[in-house]
Structure 1
Amino acid sequence: MSTDSPTGPPRMLPEQIDALRADLAAASYLSATIEQLLGPVAADALQRANPVPADRVLAARDEPAALLLRLFTLGAVVPRAQVEAALPALGLDGAMRLGLVELAPTTDADGAVRALLELAPYSASDDAGQIDWWIASDLSELATGRPLGPEHVLGVGGASLTLARITPRAHVARVLDLGCGGGIQALHASRHAEHVVATDLSERALAVAAFNAALNGIEIELRQGSLLDPVAGEDFDLIVSNPPFVITPRDPAAEATTWTYRDGRRAGDTLLAELVRALPAHLSPGGSAVMLGNWEITDPAEWDAHPRAWLQDAAAEGVDAWVLQREQEDPAQYAETWVRDGGITTRDPDWAPLVGAWLDDFDRRGVEQLGFGYLLLRRPVAAAPRPGVLRTEQAPGTGSGTLAEHLAASLRAMGTLATLDDAALAAARPVRAADVVERRHLTPGQWDPMLIELVQGAGFARSVRVDQQLAATVGALDGTLTLAQVVGAVCALTEAEEETLERVLAAVRELIRTGMVTL
C-alpha cells in the first residue's frame, strides 16, 4: 500500500515564524474569513472531506486567504508569484526554509509551489475570550490523495474538538497534555494554567507542537516519551489526554494502519487500561483528569465492565471517577471507521484484508460492541480518607451551555455527596438549577397528569420521571428552607406517607449528581 511519507517537520526559525504570523494576520487567514469565502455549502462539504465545492468556489477568488487555503489545505499547486504576493514578509524563500512548501515540477517558466504541511486557521472561544490561531499538521489524504504515513501528525479533528469542549477551564498551576500530537490541547491549557507540560512518543509530533506554539506566541514545555514516563514522580492540577486509544489488531495484515497518533501498540484496550490505572498517582489534591477512550464490550448488558475494572484501584484510593459512554459501534462499524480514518477506501485492495484482520481480532476476544466516551477523574481536596465514587452511565443527549462546566460541577458534586449522610443532606439547603423545568403530560380534558418529568436544559438535557411529591419538593428548593423542611411542608399539603423523606432524599441525591439541583 502506498502511503504518504512525511517530509521533515517544520523548522524553528524565530525570524521566519514572526514573518509568517504577520503575513497570515495581514491576509486575514482566519476561520471566519474562510467560512465567508466558501459559503455554507462548500464549507460543510469540506468538513466531510469533499473538496470539490471548495475548489469550484476558490478558483474564482484571488484574495490571499483563498490562495493560502488552496495551497495549505486543498493541496493545490499554485504559481510562485501568487505565493510571493500572499506571503510578502516571509517570501517563498522563508516558507521553504520553514519547511512549509517546496517548488513543484511545472512547465510554467515562473515556477509553481506546493505545500509540504497543512496550515489551517482555528477559532474558538473560552472564558478568556476569542481564540484565533493557526495550526500546522501533516497534509491530509484530501490534499495528497494517498493514505496517511505511520508518523502522520493530525490537525484539529473531531476528537480534539470534543476533548477541548469537555475540559474545565478554571485557573490552575500545572497542566499535563498527555499524547499532545500537534499541541492543540496544550495551547488551550496555556490560557488558564501557569505552566503546561506536553508529552508525546512521536518526535515529529513534538516538533509540530513546538512550531504551533511558537507561531501563536505561546510557551509550553515539551517532553518526549511513552505515556506517563516523561513525568514520573510529578503531579498536576489538570491532565488532559486524547491518547492513542484505537483498538488495532496485532496482525501483519494490519501493520499498514499502525499510525503512531492513534495506535498504542497494545492488544485490545490494554493501553487505556494501563493509562487509567496510572493516572491517579499524578493528580494533585483537587486535581482532575479528562480523557477520551474506547473500550471493548463482551457482554452488552455490562457495557462498563472494562472501565469499572480499570478504576477499582483508584476508587479504593479515594479518587472519584465518572465514565460516560457517548456511543457504541459493532465490530464491523468500528473496523470501517478506523480503516477509512487512514485514508483507505472500499476501492483499495487493502480494504478487505484490513477489515478482516479487525474482525478476526475481535472474534478472538469475544467482543460484541465497542464503546466510546469520556473518562473523568478527580482527587478530592480533603485529606480525610474515604472511598472514591465510581459512576458509569450511558450519557443521553447534549443540552445548551458549556459541557465542560457541567461535567466539572457534577464531578465535584459526586465527591461532596460522598461526605454527606442523609441527616446532613436533610439539613442542607439545596437549590433547583435555573435550567430545570417541569413538563406534565395529561389526557385531554383531565386534571391529573399521567406523567411528570423534570427536564434539564443544559448539560446532557436529562429528563427524569417524578411523582407529585418530588416535583413539588424540587419546585420549592430555592435555598430558603432546609430539604427536610421542604419535604415536611409538601407532605403536609399532599398527605404523603411518612417514608416520603427517605425516598425524596435518595432522588435528590441523584438530581444533585446530575446538576439538576445544586448544593
Structure 2
Amino acid sequence: MTAVPDRAHPRPDLVLAQALAADLDAADFRSEPLRRLWGEEADDALARGLREPILRAIADRDDPLATLGRLWVLGMPQPHAAVEWAVPRVGVDGLEALGLAVADGADVRPLAVIRPQSFVDADGVGEWWIASDLDEIALGTSLPADHVLGVGGASRTLAELVIPTPVERALDLGTGCGIQALLVSRRAQHVVATDISARALAYAELNAQLNGVRNVELRLGSMFEPVAGEAFDLIVSNPPFVITPRVSGVPEYEYRDGGLVGDALVQQFLQTAPAHLTPGGVAQLLGNWESRDGEDGLERVRSWIGEELDAWVIQREQLSPLSYAELWIRDGGTLPRDSGFTPLLTAWLDDFAARGVTAIGFGYILVRRPSAPASVEGSAPLRRFETITQPVSNLGRALGAGLAAHDVLADGIPDRLVVASDVTEARHHMPGNDDPSVIELRQGGGFARTISVDSALAGFVGACDGELTVMQIVQALADIFEVPLTDLWADLEPRIRRLVEDGLLLPAE
C-alpha cells in the first residue's frame, strides 16, 4: 500500500471508523484503564510533556492496551505485528486508509494521536476518543502552522462553561478537532460545526464517526460566513483568540491565531453573533482583550456588545505584555534558549507598544438575545462585567442559574426565598468583643463568592427558610433594629437582589 504523506488530511470513512472504535473498545482504550496501566505519577508526568515515565512503566508489556497507548497516546511507532493484533477489525491497511498511520518497514508509524477524553455533563459521565495531529511530545519539534490541536485546557474550560440546556439548533464556530460539537450534540437536536481549516474539519468528522455521533453537520469557512442568514439557539466558540503580531517571521497557527490585529477577532465575533441568535438564544466563548492606555479591557468589551443584549463577561486573569508574549511563544515550541526566541519576543512587544497595550485579559463571555424587548419584560438587560480570580466549579449551571435569576427578578424579588444549600456564614470577632466585626456569606460552589454583609442582611438571610415572606422578615428586622420599614427596605432591597442574582438566595418552591 502506498505510504500516506506525513501531512495528509485524515480521511474519514464511517465503516473503517466504526471498526477502529470496536478495536479501541475491545482493548479497553479508555482513560482509567490507561492510568492504571502506567500509574498515576507517569500519567501526570505526560501532562508536563514527559513520556519517559510511561515508557518505563510499560516496557515489558506488549498487550493491545500497551501497544495502543504507545501508538496513539505517545505517538510512537510500534511493531507491525503488534498493531495488527491490537486492531484486528480495522487492521493496518484500514489505519492507512483513514490517514491515521503508515506502514514503515517493520513498524507502523502514527500520523495522528488518539486520546480518550472523559467528560461529565447533565446527562452523566462519558468519554470520547479524540483524534488530532501529532503534538510536540510526538514530533519532538515545534508545531506546523496548520496543526489541529487535541483537547487542551481551553477546550475543557469552554465545555464546563456551556449552559446545560436542551436546544434545537446549535453552532460550534471554529470547531477544531470537534470536541465542543460532540459535547453540544448531547443536548442539541442538530449541530453545525464550522472551521476555516479543511484539515480540522476532517478530524472533526472522523471523531464524530469514532464516537457514533450523527447529528453534527460540518461546514468550511471563516467566522459566520458558512451560516449566513441562519440563527441558532446556542453558539459556542473557542475561537483563535490569541493576539499575535501580524508581521513577517512570526508563525501563525490556525488553531490559535485569528489573523486580525490585536483583539479584533473577539470584537468581530461579539458584533456579529447576535444576528445569528434566535430570541432567547445564547452565545458563549473564550477570549482575550487588551487594556490600552487609559482604557480598561472589560470596558472595551462592554462597548462591543449591544446595550439591548444580556451580557455577562468574567475576566479570569490579566497578563503583562511580556508575560503574554512569553506564554504564547513557548506554546508554539520556541524556548528562551532557542535562537528564534528573542526576535519573536521583540515582535510581540513592539506590536503591543504600537497600540499602547498595558495588559491582556482572558476570560469568559456570555451574550443572550432577549426573548422579548426589555420594556415588555419589565427589566433592563443583564449587564455584568466582573473579575473573578478564585477557583470556580460547575460554571455552566452557575451561569444558567444567573440568567434564570435575572429573569425572575424582572417581576421583582420573589415573595419567599430560601438559602442555597452551599452557602455558609462566617463571623469574625475581635478578642473580647461579642459583636462580630465582619460577617461573610460564603458560596461553596459555582463562582465561590464571599460577600461581606451587615447584621441586618445577615439576619434577613438567616430567616429565609421559605416559610416567612420577604416582607414579613423585613418588618421583623425593622422592629428589632428600631428603624422605619421604608428605610430598611431601601437599604436591603438592592443587596437582596444581588444575592438572588449570585445564587446565594433562591426562590422558594
**Interval of TM-score (by shorter of Structure 1 and Structure 2):** over 0.9
Q: Report the alpha carbon displacement of residue 379 of structure 1 after superposing the two structures with TM.
A: 2.0
Question: Equivalent residue for 1:236?
Answer: 232
CA distance in 2, matches of 1:344, 1:38: 30
What does 1:30-429 align with in structure 2 at a 5 Å threshold?
30-104=30-104, 111-219=106-214, 220-254=216-250, 256=251, 258-299=252-293, 302-311=296-305, 314-315=306-307, 318-383=308-373, 385=375, 387-399=380-392, 402-417=394-409, 419-420=410-411, 424-425=412-413, 428-429=415-416
Q: Report the alpha carbon displacement of residue 123 of structure 1 after superposing the two structures with TM.
A: 1.3
CA distance in 2, matches of 1:299, 1:58: 55
Q: Report the alpha carbon displacement of residue 329 of structure 1 after superposing the two structures with TM.
A: 0.9
CA contact (8 A) 1:29 1:65 kept: yes
1:461 equivalent among 448, 451, 455: 448
CA contact (8 A) 1:237 1:288 kept: yes
CA distance in 1, matches of 2:125, 2:404: 28
CA distance in 2, matches of 1:406, 1:516: 11
Structure 1: tracts of 5 or more residues without a match? 106-110
Letter in 2 for 1:138: D
Q: Report the alpha carbon displacement of residue 455 of structure 1 after superposing the two structures with TM.
A: 0.6
Q: Report the alpha carbon displacement of residue 270 of structure 1 after superposing the two structures with TM.
A: 0.5
Judging changes above 3 Å, is the alpha-carbon distance between structure 1 residues 6 and 102 closer, same or farther for their aligned structure 2 residues?
A: closer
Q: Report the alpha carbon displacement of residue 406 of structure 1 after superposing the two structures with TM.
A: 0.5
What is the DSSP-based 3-state SS (H/G/I as helix, E as strand, rest coil) of the residue aligned with 2:249?
Answer: helix
CA contact (8 A) 2:72 2:114 kept: yes
Q: Report the alpha carbon displacement of residue 61 of structure 1 after superposing the two structures with TM.
A: 2.4
Judging changes above 3 Å, is the alpha-carbon distance between structure 1 residues 430 and 380 closer, same or farther for their aligned structure 2 residues?
A: farther
CA contact (8 A) 1:245 1:293 kept: yes
1:464-501 CA deviation, whole Å, 9 max, x = no partner? Answer: 11111000001112233332221111121232455221
CA contact (8 A) 1:6 1:151 kept: no
CA distance in 1, matches of 2:254, 2:11: 21
CA contact (8 A) 1:58 1:70 kept: no
CA distance in 2, matches of 1:197, 1:269: 25
CA distance in 2, matches of 1:321, 1:152: 33
CA contact (8 A) 1:396 1:461 kept: no
Q: Report the alpha carbon displacement of residue 210 of structure 1 after superposing the two structures with TM.
A: 0.5
Structure 2: tracts of 5 or more residues without a match? none
Instruction: Determine if the alignment matches structure 1 residue 484 to structure 2 residue 477.
Output: no
Question: Equivalent residue for 1:15?
Answer: 15
CA distance in 2, matches of 1:447, 1:299: 48
1:342-371 CA deviation, whole Å, 9 max, x = no partner? Answer: 122223221111111111100111111110
Letter in 2 for 1:70: R
Letter in 1 for 2:101: V
Instruction: Determine if the alignment matches structure 1 residue 441 to structure 2 residue 428.
Output: yes
Letter in 1 for 2:481: T
2:481 equivalent among 488, 494, 499: 494
Letter in 2 for 1:19: A
CA distance in 1, matches of 2:136, 2:269: 30
CA contact (8 A) 1:96 1:102 kept: yes
What is the DSSP-based 3-state SS (H/G/I as helix, E as strand, rest coil) of the residue aligned with 2:254?
Answer: coil
Letter in 1 for 2:227: V
What is the DSSP-based 3-state SS (H/G/I as helix, E as strand, rest coil) of the residue aligned with 2:39?
Answer: helix
Letter in 2 for 1:371: G
CA distance in 1, matches of 2:206, 2:152: 18
Judging changes above 3 Å, is the alpha-carbon distance between structure 1 residues 278 and 416 closer, same or farther for their aligned structure 2 residues?
A: farther
CA distance in 2, matches of 1:281, 1:413: 25
1:73-122 CA deviation, whole Å, 9 max, x = no partner? Answer: 323222111111111111111111111111235xxxxx111100111111
CA distance in 2, matches of 1:149, 1:47: 20
What is the DSSP-based 3-state SS (H/G/I as helix, E as strand, rest coil) of the residue aligned with 1:405?
Answer: helix
Q: TM-score, normalised by structure 1?
A: 0.92
Judging changes above 3 Å, is the alpha-carbon distance between structure 1 residues 265 and 239 closer, same or farther for their aligned structure 2 residues?
A: same
CA contact (8 A) 2:13 2:206 kept: no
Q: Report the alpha carbon displacement of residue 154 of structure 1 after superposing the two structures with TM.
A: 0.5
Q: Report the alpha carbon displacement of residue 230 of structure 1 after superposing the two structures with TM.
A: 1.0
Letter in 1 for 2:390: G
- Which deviates further from its counterpart, 506-515 or 474-483? 474-483
Instruction: Determine if the alignment matches structure 1 residue 430 to structure 2 residue 417.
Output: yes
CA contact (8 A) 2:92 2:103 kept: no
- Which deviates further from its counterpart, 136-145 or 36-45? 36-45
Q: Report the alpha carbon displacement of residue 301 of structure 1 after superposing the two structures with TM.
A: 7.9
Judging changes above 3 Å, is the alpha-carbon distance between structure 1 residues 125 and 63 closer, same or farther for their aligned structure 2 residues?
A: farther
What is the DSSP-based 3-state SS (H/G/I as helix, E as strand, rest coil) of the residue aligned with 1:304?
Answer: helix
CA distance in 2, matches of 1:55, 1:208: 27
CA contact (8 A) 1:72 1:115 kept: yes
What is the DSSP-based 3-state SS (H/G/I as helix, E as strand, rest coil) of the residue aligned with 2:255?
Answer: coil
Judging changes above 3 Å, is the alpha-carbon distance between structure 1 residues 367 and 93 closer, same or farther for their aligned structure 2 residues?
A: same
- Which runs of 4 or more aligned residues in structure 1 lie more than 6 Å from their structure 2 counterparts after TM superposition? none
CA distance in 1, matches of 2:425, 2:406: 24
Judging changes above 3 Å, is the alpha-carbon distance between structure 1 residues 473 and 383 closer, same or farther for their aligned structure 2 residues?
A: same
Judging changes above 3 Å, is the alpha-carbon distance between structure 1 residues 299 and 34 closer, same or farther for their aligned structure 2 residues?
A: farther
1:177-204 CA deviation, whole Å, 9 max, x = no partner? Answer: 0110010000001111111110111111
Judging changes above 3 Å, is the alpha-carbon distance between structure 1 residues 301 and 490 closer, same or farther for their aligned structure 2 residues?
A: farther
CA contact (8 A) 2:321 2:357 kept: yes
CA contact (8 A) 1:245 1:272 kept: yes
Letter in 1 for 2:27: A
CA distance in 1, matches of 2:458, 2:10: 60
Q: TM-score, normalised by structure 2?
A: 0.94
Q: Report the alpha carbon displacement of residue 413 of structure 1 after superposing the two structures with TM.
A: 2.2
Judging changes above 3 Å, is the alpha-carbon distance between structure 1 residues 126 and 265 closer, same or farther for their aligned structure 2 residues?
A: same
